[in-house]
Structure 1
Amino acid sequence: MEIVEPLAINIDLGDMPWNFMEKLRRASDKPKEGIQATIFRVPENIRRTNVDSFEPKMFSLGPYHHGKQLFQATDERIKLPCASNFFRGAMIGDLQRIVVQLKDWESDLRCAYSEQISMSSDEFVEMMLLDCAFMAEFLRERCESIKIIKMQEGGPRIEMEEYSWKWAAPSIINDMLVVENQFPLRPLLYLFEKCGWDDIINIGGTFYSLMQQIHRNLSPTWRFNLRVRSDPLIDSSSHLLHLFHSSLIIVEPRYRERRLHNTDLSSFPSAEMLQAMRIQFTNKINCESFLDITFDASKRSMEIPQFLINDDNISLLRNLIAFEQQCRGVGYYISTYVWFMDCLINTDRDVAVLRKHNIIVSRLRSDEEVAHIFNQLRRTDAPVVDFDNFYLAEVMINVKSHCRNRTNILCALWNFSWLKQNYFKNRWVTIGVTAAVFFNLLTLVQTVYAVLSYAKQ
């Protein structure tokens, strides 16, 4: 057998293999960069579902939207005056020490971003200094304008006095919660410390007040009562959106069961069906966040905190989901909540049930639009959830177990109740359904009679 020599292929590879190996070596020398990243671009598959939700409207914070023409006016009218107010009375030596410190942190600050930042060192540090000074002044001035008024009945009430940029506060708060519009908290806290504001105002209290305002925007009826939310929470949060996400998380002993099968989600009854099964819905007032959902089987009561449905709050949900989907170790709490609400809401009738009990307060045009929003959040934004660590697993398992334990008579009663609710409202529909049932019964009797006659023969 003749051995065929392989064809000689003469290709000049040049330096390509060496360059490729060098690129791999550089990547392996910096393994922590990807792990440390906590500020991400929104992936295209999520962004295209609703582009406006992931774009700041009035202010750029951080490098991703820095320098856009859209924000030049607000940079000059608001950012620079705020920074000037923050540094009033500061000496040039103080500013030099701050710049030196930011230069020293520059590598770590850049690593907080998932993309390589193409700005020069001076540009990056100047941007970080301006954004942090602007935010520090906004928080300081906002905190100094807060008045706590003791009410005759109930607890204290917080009011905001007029301050320079109060008109812009809603836009500032919305933009600071956009996932791409973040900057690390470290230099912001450093500015408070070096400029002496930590001796005048309580930094933890300042952030607590801000988080409280955002929570109140989500639901005015919550009796907001965060646990100790001071230095430990701030120190463990990498940026403002992360801090708000952390303030939502509930860690309670009652959430014992965590594992859930995917089939339990697909077959979970909707709000309309649960109501027909005599399960009551209650607006949960004394809670810490909209995630705090419970089910009491003995009372057949599901308690769900109120959620205000408007464009800003839906955008916030989208950004929280995008943050969870990309940031390691923060959990999938918001994504889990959206999955659960999508199980409850299939149609506008489910929305009507939840709205009737003040669980959903809608500022949208119709219940159909609310149902579409939740279905879209779950399906088109495609949030990944961890079914082995599903914080609402126990609620869903107990609800399904309660429904399975209903007797056949109760199931029949539920079917009649559901038919009555959906089909027997109109008398002509009632007559039509009754006639159809009557003729089907006649057909069944005729069939049985024919079978019995044949058997006798």
Structure 2
Amino acid sequence: MEEGSSSSPSPSTHIDHSSIQIINEDEEEDLTTSIKSKMDSSIADSYSICRVSDHLLKANHHRRIYRPSLLSIGPLHRAPPLPADPLKYRYLNALLARTPTAAPAVLRRCIAALRQLEPKARNFYRQKIPMESNQFVEMLLVDACFVIELFIETEHPAFRRRDDPLVDKSPQLISDLILLENQLPFFVVDHIFRLVHIPIECAKPLPELASNFLRRILPGRRGRKKFSPEIHHLLDLIRLHYLPKNRRLHSTTMTTNAATMHRAVQLHAYGIKLENAHDAETPLDVTFVDGALRVPTLKIDDHTEVVLGNLIAMEHCHAECPKIVTSYAVLMEQLVKFKNDVEVLRDEGILVGSGYGREAETVIMLKRLQTGVNVKEFYYRGVCEEVNRYKASEGRAQWETLRHIYHRTRLGIAGFTLALVVLVFLFTGVLFSVLTYLLHHFQ
């Protein structure tokens, strides 16, 4: 056979290369779509918006921290309508009216974009949403535009209407917008944010505008930026601000006494200092250094329980989510068992806002936060073990305990003084008895 003939296909075995190329492109597109769908599904499973778990609701009867009272965002609390829900259309109009001639076209582009995002957005909620397509898309549009306009008016108050009834309800509005059950997927808000006109005065990334809106409840120094490549919703953004810089897990289990922190008063009794970690960026950066437990400031106000309670609920909605905020709640409840523990931490500047007369309220709140939680991996186990190894001598501890017990109040001081007087009288009586016996015996 000639050399050239072996390389030439016969007519009966002719291959249509163009048809193969077409088939391969179709298969490649199908495979890409399939992988992307699975990726979206995995993200939704890990970070989906869900209801607070039943065991947390049963354990915590203070359910107001999980339910919106002024405004609903997303599909979980739409019925019955809340007082401020009708105002969302006013915010939608304000956002689109900044480009009046282009408003109809922008509105159509937004609706078209949300049609494409609808399957992904529906999948982002843990439970099935019983809303027909038009209702769901309208909800996404109205809620996303409301949130964007709210960020704009907060960033530049000159855009705010003087007769806006929400102006005086900012604290309640913030509380509602950070609830786990009152969230909108952040990718929906971000997509609309890129389609509408944003005033030059507010030309900042959406995560920065959101953080500025939430700044009164965010920890750390103002201006700190800590954004992940993908933020899942507003509560997730808050969690990013709360997470410690060093996220290394300090433990694997919480089954021994070594993982228990002593009360603040007892720590003083053991000769362990309690210091305010002024340089910490988040309240969760609790460390033990050179005989001092360094605890960052925790501001106690009307938002504290709402923020921490919903962050804990978010961690319990997802089994694979590290229970770092939950561990913090457990640690603080161990530190603060009684009112005098609050006083110790307040004196050190660790608990701010728990003023005189609110000590019992602070103790109850911290106990409520960790009720019903499940911490298989206790983030602060290593810190607890270091503290326990550093305990001072038992004799000094007992003396320091007495000092803290009796020197905290005027009644304690009076009791301590009376005890000393009684001891002096007893010692004097014993001394006179011994001297009388000796004199009588040796005469």
Closer/same/farther in 2, CA of residues 367 and 127 from structure 1, 3 Å limit = same
In structure 2, what residue type is equivalent to 1:41?
R
Closer/same/farther in 2, CA of residues 345 and 61 from structure 1, 3 Å limit = same
Partner of 2:333: 342
* Structure-2 separation of matches of 1:375 and 1:302: 21
Closer/same/farther in 2, CA of residues 302 and 107 from structure 1, 3 Å limit = same
Q: Does 1:384 align with 2:385?
A: no
Over the aligned positions, Cα root-mean-square deviation in angstroms equals 3.4
Correspondence for 1:61 among 57, 69, 73: 73
Q: Give the conservation status (yes or no) of the 8 Å contact 1:308–1:361.
A: yes
In structure 1, what residue type is equivalent to 2:275?
T
* Structure-2 separation of matches of 1:267 and 1:33: 35
> Secondary structure in 2 aligned to 1:289?
coil
Partner of 1:79: 88
Could you report, residue by residue, the CA deviation over 1:201-244 in whole angstroms, capped at 9, with x for unpaired residues?
A: 4443x53354356454366xx534525x35xx2x4221111111
Partner of 2:244: 250
Q: Does 1:313 align with 2:304?
A: yes
In structure 1, what residue type is equivalent to 2:256?
T
Q: Give the conservation status (yes or no) of the 8 Å contact 1:324–1:331.
A: yes
Could you report, residue by residue, the CA deviation over 1:118-163 in whole angstroms, capped at 9, with x for unpaired residues?
A: 11110010011000011111112222349xxxxxxxxxxxxx9989
> Secondary structure in 2 aligned to 1:236?
coil
Could you report, residue by residue, the CA deviation over 1:32-81 in whole angstroms, capped at 9, with x for unpaired residues?
A: 5972561111123322421211111211000011142333xx233x3111
Closer/same/farther in 2, CA of residues 251 and 312 from structure 1, 3 Å limit = closer
In structure 2, what residue type is equivalent to 1:398?
E
Q: Give the conservation status (yes or no) of the 8 Å contact 2:218–2:238.
A: no
Correspondence for 1:393 among 381, 384, 392: 381
Partner of 1:373: 365
Closer/same/farther in 2, CA of residues 421 and 218 from structure 1, 3 Å limit = farther
Closer/same/farther in 2, CA of residues 383 and 127 from structure 1, 3 Å limit = same
* Structure-1 separation of matches of 2:184 and 2:81: 20
Q: Does 1:109 align with 2:107?
A: no
Shift of 1:174: 1.4
In structure 1, what residue type is equivalent to 2:221?
R
Q: Does 1:93 align with 2:102?
A: no
* Structure-1 separation of matches of 2:142 and 2:421: 70
Partner of 1:301: 292
Shift of 1:166: 3.5
Partner of 1:452: none
Shift of 1:245: 0.8
* Structure-1 separation of matches of 2:161 and 2:111: 34
Shift of 1:372: 1.6
Shift of 1:276: 2.0
Closer/same/farther in 2, CA of residues 411 and 168 from structure 1, 3 Å limit = closer
Shift of 1:312: 2.3
Partner of 1:45: 55
Partner of 2:322: 331
In structure 2, what residue type is equivalent to 1:373?
M
* Structure-2 separation of matches of 1:53 and 1:309: 15
Q: Does 1:269 align with 2:259?
A: no
Partner of 2:130: 118
Shift of 1:358: 1.9
Corresponding residue pairs, total? 380
Correspondence for 1:238 among 210, 228, 232: 232
Q: Give the conservation status (yes or no) of the 8 Å contact 1:270–1:345.
A: yes
Shift of 1:180: 0.4
Partner of 1:410: 396
* Structure-2 separation of matches of 1:315 and 1:433: 50
* Structure-2 separation of matches of 1:433 and 1:40: 63
Partner of 1:226: 224
In structure 2, what residue type is equivalent to 1:135?
V
> Secondary structure in 2 aligned to 1:167?
helix
Partner of 2:178: 177
> Secondary structure in 2 aligned to 1:295?
strand
Closer/same/farther in 2, CA of residues 33 and 392 from structure 1, 3 Å limit = closer
Correspondence for 2:45 among 35, 38, 42: 35
Closer/same/farther in 2, CA of residues 306 and 214 from structure 1, 3 Å limit = farther
Q: Share of identical aligned residues, percent?
A: 22
Shift of 1:414: 3.5
Shift of 1:296: 1.3
Shift of 1:260: 5.0
Closer/same/farther in 2, CA of residues 53 and 394 from structure 1, 3 Å limit = same
* Structure-1 separation of matches of 2:252 and 2:215: 28
Closer/same/farther in 2, CA of residues 66 and 208 from structure 1, 3 Å limit = same
Q: Which has the larger radius of gyration?
A: 2
In structure 1, what residue type is equivalent to 2:326?
S
> Secondary structure in 2 aligned to 1:95?
helix
Partner of 1:139: 151
In structure 1, what residue type is equivalent to 2:234?
L
User: 1:207-218 alignment to 2 at 5 Å?
Assistant: 207-211=207-211, 214-217=214-217
Closer/same/farther in 2, CA of residues 401 and 163 from structure 1, 3 Å limit = farther
* Structure-1 separation of matches of 2:364 and 2:108: 53
Q: Does 1:130 align with 2:107?
A: no
* Structure-1 separation of matches of 2:330 and 2:354: 22
Partner of 2:413: 425
Q: Give the conservation status (yes or no) of the 8 Å contact 1:307–1:359.
A: yes
Shift of 1:200: 6.5
Closer/same/farther in 2, CA of residues 413 and 330 from structure 1, 3 Å limit = same
Under a length normalisation based on structure 1, what TM-score does the superposition of the two structures give?
0.73
Shift of 1:430: 4.4
Structure 1 residue ranges without an equivalent (≥5): 1-29, 147-159, 443-457
Shift of 1:198: 8.7
Shift of 1:327: 2.7
Partner of 1:26: none
Closer/same/farther in 2, CA of residues 314 and 174 from structure 1, 3 Å limit = same
